[in-house]
Amino acid sequence: MGKIAFIFPGQGSQQVGMGQEFVENNEQSAAVFKQADQRLGYSLSSIIAEGPEEALTRTENTQPALLTTSIAILKALEQYDIRPGFTAGHSLGEYTALVASKALTFEDAVYAVRRRGMFMEEAVPAGKGAMAAVLGMDAEQLESITNRITAEGDSVQLANLNCPGQIVISGSKEGVEKASEAAKEEGAKRIIPLQVSGPFHSELMKPAAEKMADVLDELTITDAEIPVVANVTAEPVIGADEIRSKLIEQIYSPVRWEETVRYLLDEGVDIFIEIGPGKVLSGLVKKVNRRATTVAISDPESLEAAVKKLKEV
């Protein structure tokens, strides 16, 4: 078997009912959902199981819901003794990766991301921020556009460098609109405005980062047992202090996902196991290198198929 990385999705992959087959069929997975409810003091598990969708898509619920579901799936996978050489997660998914790497306990992480979601919601009044995906433009060209528009007084930054030709920009509503127009004029193939509740991974999130620093100070972060490739640098972090500082920066810095995948490939990773609902990250990995093996595990059926596939490689 080749070198494995466990990768964990972020906001946008959630769906009502996710992880439920594991809850019904696996005691350890069910225990994760119970732990989340106990730590948060409300029934997150029933929002995940039954919705309504608008409750699940509220950032302060989405973030702990995705973390909980991914860790519940991880518990089922761990029974097969499959061990990664690295972990990584997209934005919120980085917290899941830190739990998988034993740098954070699940209970602390679920509490932290609930707070993170609340702070991100509060940082910018509704309707004042925006995000958009820019397709078919390279990062340097797009960054010169966003820098220019920010300098002119409308804040906008690169937020997610996902894969070749797919970059998300984030900032004030006006900044994102102006950068989108300029990108179109300078040759971007398509601009897709995103349905999000705030300008995540932009400078406008700095107030949320300051509040998050206080929360992270309350929690015990230990050195990671498995290196976690950080969003902010696309390089591995192990030390507790560095993990803490990178989680604070991560809130207002771009997610360097394409570079993360390239780093893992350079380190000899040839199997990427996406743990959580959906297949978004598997798709992005393939866009970086279509020869990479990707396995997405979201239900018992895909878990069985994954275990079978891993025995063959």
Q: Which residues, 6 or more positions from 148, have their beta carbon under 8 angstroms from its beta carbon?
A: 182
- Residues 264, 212 share a domain: yes
**Rounded Cα distance, 241 and 143, in Å:** 30
- Residues 164, 83 share a domain: no
Residue 309: pLDDT over 90: no
Q: Which residues, 6 or more positions from 11, have their beta carbon under 8 angstroms from its beta carbon?
A: 59, 62, 63, 66, 91, 92, 196, 200
Residue-wise pLDDT for 232-261, tens only, equals 999 999 999 999 999 999 999 999 999 999
Structure tokens given for 196: 């999000």
- Residues 116, 60 share a domain: yes
Categorize the per-residue pLDDT at 92 as very low, low, confident or very high, splitting at 50, 70 and 90. very high
- Residues 69, 52 share a domain: yes
- Residues 133, 64 share a domain: no
Which domain does 286 fall in, by range? 3-123+204-312
When pLDDT is averaged across residues 105-121 and rounded to a whole number, the result is: 97
- Residues 208, 115 share a domain: yes
Cα 269-271-275 angle, rounded to 5 deg:
115
Rounded to a whole number, what is the distance in angstroms from the first to the last CA of the chain? 5
**Rounded Cα distance, 265 and 260, in Å:** 9
Would residue 29 show up in a list of annotated catalytic residues for this protein? no
Domain boundary among 162, 178, 196: 196
Domain boundary among 196, 213, 230: 196
Alpha helix (H) residue ranges in 1-81: 20-25, 27-40, 44-50, 53-56, 59-78
Residue 174: pLDDT over 80: yes
Residue 313: pLDDT over 80: no
Q: What is the mean pLDDT of the chain?
A: 96
pLDDT at 80: 94
Residue 284: pLDDT over 90: yes
When pLDDT is averaged across residues 97-118 and rounded to a whole number, the result is: 98
- Residues 267, 245 share a domain: yes
Q: How many structural domains is the chain composed of?
A: 2
Give percent of the chain above pLDDT 70. Answer: 100
Would residue 90 show up in a list of annotated catalytic residues for this protein? no
pLDDT at 311: 84
Categorize the per-residue pLDDT at 1 as very low, low, confident or very high, splitting at 50, 70 and 90. low
- Residues 218, 145 share a domain: no
Q: Which of 91, 155, 180, 282 is catalytic?
A: 91
**Rounded Cα distance, 105 and 95, in Å:** 10
Using alpha carbons, select from 63, 95, 105 the residue that is nearest to residue 228. Answer: 95
Range with lowest mean pLDDT among 172-176, 196-200, 293-297 = 196-200
When pLDDT is averaged across residues 141-148 and rounded to a whole number, the result is: 98
**Rounded Cα distance, 49 and 13, in Å:** 15
- Residues 77, 18 share a domain: yes
| CATH assignment at residue 172 | 3.30.70.250
Q: Which of 13, 201, 202, 298 is catalytic?
A: 201
Burial of 166 (C-beta count, 10 Å sphere; 0-12/13-18/19+): buried
Residue 230: pLDDT over 70: yes
Strands 129-135 and 236-237: unpaired
Residue-wise pLDDT for 54-81, tens only, equals 999 999 999 999 999 999 999 999 999 9
φ, ψ of residue 127 to 5 degrees: the values are: 85, -10
Range with lowest mean pLDDT among 18-22, 197-201, 263-267 = 197-201
- Residues 112, 254 share a domain: yes
pLDDT at 197: 79
Using omega within 30 degrees of 0 as the cis cutoff, is the peptide bond preceding 164 cis?
Answer: no
| CATH assignment at residue 226 | 3.40.366.10
φ, ψ of residue 190 to 5 degrees: the values are: -150, 150
In 10 A of CB 16, how many CB atoms?
16
- Residues 220, 91 share a domain: yes
Burial of 82 (C-beta count, 10 Å sphere; 0-12/13-18/19+): middle
- Residues 252, 106 share a domain: yes
What is the widest separation between alpha-carbon atoms in the chain? 56
**Which parts of 156-309 are beta strand (E)?**
156-163, 166-172, 190-193, 228-229, 236-237, 269-275, 293-297
Give percent of the chain above pLDDT 90. Answer: 95
Burial of 42 (C-beta count, 10 Å sphere; 0-12/13-18/19+): exposed
Domain boundary among 196, 221, 238: 196
